[in-house]
Each structure stands twice: as structure tokens, then as C-alpha cells.
Amino acid sequence: MSNLTRREALTALGATGVWLGSGGVVSAESAGTDEFSSRDSPTQKTLRSVTQSREGPYAVGENGDVLARRATEESGSRYERVLDAGLTAGDKSFYGVDATVDGRNVWVAGESGRVGYYDAVDEQFTDFSKPNGLAATWRDVAVGETAGNERVYLFGGGGQVLVGERDDAGMSWGTATTFNGGNAIYGAARLEENEVWCCDSTGSVYETRDGGQTWTDIGVDAATVPLYDIAVADEDAITVVGGSGRIFEYDGTTWQRFKPGGSAIRGVDRTSDAEGGHVAAGAGGTLYIRSTDGWTSTNLATSKTLRGVALDTTGEYPDAVVGNAGKIYERGGYTAYPDTLRLEVDDGASLSYGFDVSGPTAGTTLNESDDTVTSVADGYEVGGTLGDGDGADAYRFGGDVTGLTVTDGSASDLTTVRSGTEVSVERLADRSWSRVSTPVDVTLYEIVESSAGLYAVGGSGRIIRTDSTGEWDVVTKTGVRGGGNSLFGAGVTDDGESLWVAGGSGALGHIDATTGEITDYSQPGGATSSWTDVAVTGSAGSESIYLVNGSGEVLHGENDRGAVTFDEPVKPGNGSTLRGVTFIDDDTGYTCDGNAKVYETRDGGQTWTDIGIESAGVTLYDVAAESPDDITVVGGSGRLFRYNGAVWTLTKLGGNSRLSVDRDADRGVAVGGSAELFEREIEGWTGTAADPSDVTLYSSIVVQDDPTTGKYAVGGNGVALRQTFDDPLF
């Protein structure tokens, strides 16, 4: 457990990097200037608060907007909207934001109990809204400790204070208390592990030294104005701001009063710097800066109210001020290197490499003189060598790494570690999607990977597969029974040797992956309903088969060297159509339905438990599970839901239905209407344009056995799309 303050932790992260090489020196430049200047904003909605993170400023505001300052080359640096409809896509506004002391998790809080955090490394949100069932409007949030060990303080418009502590994937919340007569608490700030201060609408300031168990009123005596924000540099260095242009400073004993303006001051932050290290902002676009002579005011080029201030302590990030109409002002530049890339070569091997980075880049003491970095129009180009005693190179950078190539030697000798996590070399290469020819023009509903290649099934019973060259050929044109019943699902045994396909009118068949031989097991137990999906566990010849249908039933079967028996069907829910099913192992599986429900079994399908999703409000089409605490479900209106073992979190991927999702560790692909493709790679989910754009994609897969192929998707009119590496590394 760290007792560093957030400022101390961020300062520790901000060590200067130096590049050694023929590309010249690239080092962190001083971020300090005397003036705040306007920055382009991706929103015109009110921004209510801002904080500093390991990546720089994050701002939050109306209708659930969250903006992140991205590390890109100065000519293209920008704020990006990482959330635009709130944590539950309900357009609820955020009022408060704060980061863990290591700057990794950025916590947001706002209307209707909305609470959650954004992981700046993984680039994904986790939703903890309505903690303990409370739907209060949270006006601010203060966070202690490092990511994964958080202690979170929430402050409400009705004077509520709620404290929570990280509990594995979830949060353990205490009981909400009210100590100030129920008056709105507008601002809060944390100093040490259990030391927090807040200010309220009556002009009072409170402190706790025991983690929120007790609170003490420390002033401001007869303030007579509401207090909107508070900044704490130390227990005897506190500044609060409020109505009528009032600023109050506390030295641990007495309060000093200032009135540098006449209009409300909404935001404040302070550092230990005497000159320019205290900044406040408020109505009329007015900025207030503290010097040894007191507070002075200046008007920025706006009449809009400014509401939040976040000052940098590292010298590598800009100070930020945000406000109404999406206004953003900054002082200083972005020269930080929040991420690292380490390249290691096997003993006795040597190679040359190159890659691109979109933001500031610097080498480390591991680099040799023949390793270079060159500034280009859209970032940096990096090149180097490994081997002959040079076993590792490392770089600090901001932004994204792309286009990794091995220009001499074998990529199989190379290991890459990004920000402490080992990633495969090909994941850093340039990837692209292209259409490949198939011998059918019917809709392809499912694609799976076998030991002998890829199989796809679809309309009129068509089954196709890839041959040894990667080309598609036809296994059957008429289905498993010869009657042309469409096939909607396919599943593969753990060893990849056998496939099971299922579809209309109870069609069910077994395929030998190597020979393509089909055995008909249709209408098990006389069932003639359409199977919507199938999952398989175990090895070929002794596998378990799980079928789901439009009547909301799960049918479990066992294969004993060709003798297949089935149990009585089980109905996990209320009979709504089950559309997707997957199993992690012989016991643990998941299915989802048209009533926005996800069901889990831990006993091989004998019993099922409803595990969500509350207020999902859309049909769910597919489910992928890596573990019981890593489940992904997709559905209507572009909804993707992630379960971490404690809570479900919504991510909105476009506007069309997401019909299929596949996962492999932290990789993923989701597809749906209008040929929309969304990929999860090293950081979050991103969209990719596909051609043709008017085709619905029904199934997708993360390919594992072929390192030159990343992902595949199939859909209407026999369309198949393949992701390949522009510069294959193997």
C-alpha cells in the first residue's frame, strides 16, 4: 500500500528520458510558460472538472462526456472523447473526477449515482454506478492509493459521503453518512491515505483524518458564500474558492480571505510553487493566479464560465482549465513518455527492427549508439539492432506504437514487452482487413477454427472450409441431412479434430475436421426446433455438445465414439430465445437471450444462474468467455457488455447491432450490421472500416493457429473478410 500522494506519484513517473543515437537528442522540455492558451475541444458541452493522470489531463462533463489528452506529436496533439454517453449510455452528467496516486485509474462520478473508472493503460471503463443502491448525484470524488487498491470517497448533492475500498474485481462500499446537515458538498481533495477535505454550499470546510469515520468542521468562519472547490497541498496549505469572487487560504491555524473578483469562482488547484502554482477559475472566463503578492485576475478569450483546474507537477504535462461550452485552456506542453516498449532478443540471435510512434519518444540507457529515432510529420520513426552482446533495447513513449517490422533476422527470436506486459510481436505490426473469395453466395452465419483450418456454415446448409493454401472450398451444398436446412451455429472440440454444426428444423451434424466427412444427428430426441447456436467441450470422440434454441432451451449431449445421447432440455430463463452459447471447460458455460439476460452454469449445464444484465435493454446475440471474471456479451444498438466477476460495464460500439464476439486473452473482435468491425488489441476497442459496407457480418473469430492471420469475419452474400499483416513477420 503506497502512502504517496497523487502529486508525488505523478512526479515520480515524470523522469526525463534521453535519446542516444544518430537521430539526435529527444528529451523532455520544460512544460512551463506564463500564459494559458485555448485548445481544440471535441465537445461543446460543459466540462465540469479535470484531473491529472499518468497520461496527462482528463476532463468530465455534461451528458457523460469524458475527454483524455492524448500523447501525440505536438502538431497533432489533441483531446479525445473516450466516453460520450455516460457509463450506461444514459447521458448522465459527470461532476467529479480524480485519479489514483499512480495516475492509472481515473475515477468519475455524477448524476443518478453514476460512478466508475477508466483504466488509462487498458483503455476501458469499469462501471460501479449506484453503489449500495444509491442513485444520488455525486458532486465530487476523491481517490486514494494505487490502481487496484483504491479507497474512493464520494460526495453528494444531499451532503452524503460514501467510502469504498477495492475488493478484488469489485468494490466494498460502507454506509453513506451525512455530517453537515444535508447541505450539498461541491468539492473534495485527498492528501494522504486517510486524510480528505471537502467544502459545501454553506461555506464550511470539513476534514477527516481517519478515512471518513469522523469529520471535523475547520471553517471558514462566516464565509457567507457557497464554496465550490478545494485544493490541498499540505494540511497547512489549503485553498477553497466560492461565490462572489471569494478565495480563502488556510495555514493550519487561521483562514485568510481574498476577493480578487466579483463573480463566482468554480475551480482551484495548487502546488507548492509560490509563483503560478495556485490557479483558480470562474465565471466570465476569468482566471486567477496567485503570486507572493496575492491573487490577480485575467480574462481569457471567452465569456464562458470556467469550472475545473488541474496543475501538473512533473514538468511533462500541461496545466489545464476547463469550462462551459467545452472550453479548454492549457499552460505548458506535453513532452511526457507515459509508456514503455522493451525489445529483447534470444541468446545468440541478432536482428534489426523498426517501428513508428505517434507521440514523444526517447531511448534509455539500454540503447546503443546505432539505435536511432527520427522526428517525422506524424510522430517518430525508430530503428535499431539487437545481438552481439546487446540483448535488449527499451524506449519511453507517448501515443501508439505501429508498424513494427524485423528488417533483418527472425521475428521468432524477438520478445516485446509493452508497459510491463508481454505482447506478441505481430500485434505491433500494421494490420489490414481485406475481402477474400468464397465459393458461395448465401449468408454465412458462423465461422470456427479447427485443427485442419477454418470452417464456415450458412444458408441452405452450405458448409465451406479453407484448404492448405488458405483458399475456401465447399464441403456440402445441401447441409447435414441433404435437405438444405440453414446452419446457424458451429462448435469445435478442444483438440480441434471435430466440429458440430446446428441449424433449422433440428439439423445437427458432426464433421471430421480432417476429412470433412459428415455424420447426421439431426432432431435429437425428436426436437425439430431451430438450433441458434452450439458449443462443444472435450476431445473428439468423447465431447459434450450444448445446443440452444428459440424456445429458450439448452440441450446437453454426450458423444461416446459416435454413440450420442442427450439429456432432457433445460430452460435457464423464461423461454426467450437463446442466441449464443460458449463453454470455458466441461463445467463452466454461458448463454445469452433476447431478454437481455446472461446465464451461467458451473455444473455442465444441469443448472443455470441468472448473472445479469440489469437494465441492458437490448437483445443479446453472442457471448465470449475467457474466465468467470472475464466475460463479453454483444447485442442490439451497438452494445458490448463486459463482466469482471463483480459488475457489468457497457461499451457502445457504433449504432448497429453487434451480432458476434470472439475473444482470445485480451484480444477480441466484434461484428454486426453495415460490415462494422470492432477490434480489441493492446488498448481498448476500436472500429475498422470494411468493404463492402452494406453487408451484415454475422460471425467473427480471433485466429490462433496462423500467425500471419489476425482475425476473420463472415456474413451476408458469402462475404468473408480476413485480417492480415501488411508485413508478415513469420
Strands in 430-561 per DSSP E: 431-436, 444-450, 453-458, 463-466, 472-476, 487-492, 498-503, 508-512, 518-520, 531-537, 544-549, 554-560
Express each pLDDT in 571-583 by its tens digit. Answer: 999 999 999 999 9
Band (672; pLDDT cuts 50, 70, 90): very high
Distance CA 502, CA 554 (A): 13
Q: Which amino acid is residue 633, in one-letter code?
A: V
Q: Which residue blocks in 421-554 are alpha helix, DSSP H?
A: none
Residue 314 phi/psi, 5-degree rounding, is -95, -20
- Check pLDDT > 50 for residue 318: yes
CATH classification number, 34-331, choose in 3.90.380.10, 3.40.50.12780, 2.170.140.10, 2.130.10.10: 2.130.10.10
pLDDT of residue 644: 96
The three grid cell numbers given for residue 236, joined into one nine-digit string = 497547512
Report the pLDDT value the prediction gives residue 76, as an integer from 0 to 100. Answer: 54
Q: Work out the percent of the chain whose per-residue pLDDT is above 90.
A: 80
> Would you say residue 145 has pLDDT above 70?
yes
Q: Is it true that 34-331 and 432-725 share their CATH fold? A: yes
Tell me the average pLDDT of the chain: 91
Instruction: Read off the pLDDT of each residue in 11-26 and give the average, rounded to a whole number.
Output: 33
Residues 488-509, mean pLDDT to the nearest whole number: 98
pLDDT on residue 702: 94
547 CB neighbour count, 10 Å cutoff: 27
- Grid cell 471558514 — which residue? 220
626 C-beta neighbours (distance < 10 Å), count: 14
Beta-bridged to residue 296, according to DSSP, are 289
d(CA 531, CA 507): 7
**Residue environment code for 269-280, b if the CB has 16+ CB neighbours within 10 A, otherwise e:** bbbeeeebbbbb
Query: What proportions of the chain, in percent to the nearest 5, are helix, strand and coil?
Result: 5, 50, 45
Q: Residue 13: enclosing H or E segment and its boundaries?
A: helix 6-13
Instruction: Look at strands 196-200 and 185-190 and give their pairing.
Output: antiparallel
Mean pLDDT of 17-30: 29
Q: What is the structure's pLDDT at 22?
A: 26
pTM, entire model: 0.92
Alpha carbons 652 and 666: distance in angstroms, whole number:
18
- Distance, in Å, from the CA atom of 710 to the CA atom of 276, rounded to the nearest integer, reads 51
pLDDT tens by residue, 232-260? 999 999 999 999 999 999 999 999 999 99
Instruction: Give the Cα separation of 180 and 227 in Å (integer).
Output: 14
Distance of CA 524 to the CA centre of its chain: 42
Measuring CA to CA, which residue among 157, 108, 107, 163 is closest to residue 136?
Answer: 157
User: What is the tally of helices (H) and strands (E) in the chain?
Assistant: 1, 66
- Its CATH class, for the domain covering 432-725, is mainly beta
Cα–Cα dist 134/131, whole Å: 6
Query: Domain-by-domain residue ranges, the chain?
Result: 34-331, 339-428, 432-725
Which of 170, 10, 230 is CA-nearest to residue 99? 10
The most distant pair of C-alpha atoms in the chain lies apart, rounded to whole Å, by 90
Residue 730 pLDDT class (50, 70, 90 cuts): low
Query: Would you say residue 59 has pLDDT above 80?
Result: yes
Residues 6+ apart with CB under 8 A from 351: 345, 385, 386, 387, 406, 407, 408, 409, 410, 411, 413, 414
Strand duo 578-583 + 563-566: pairing: unpaired
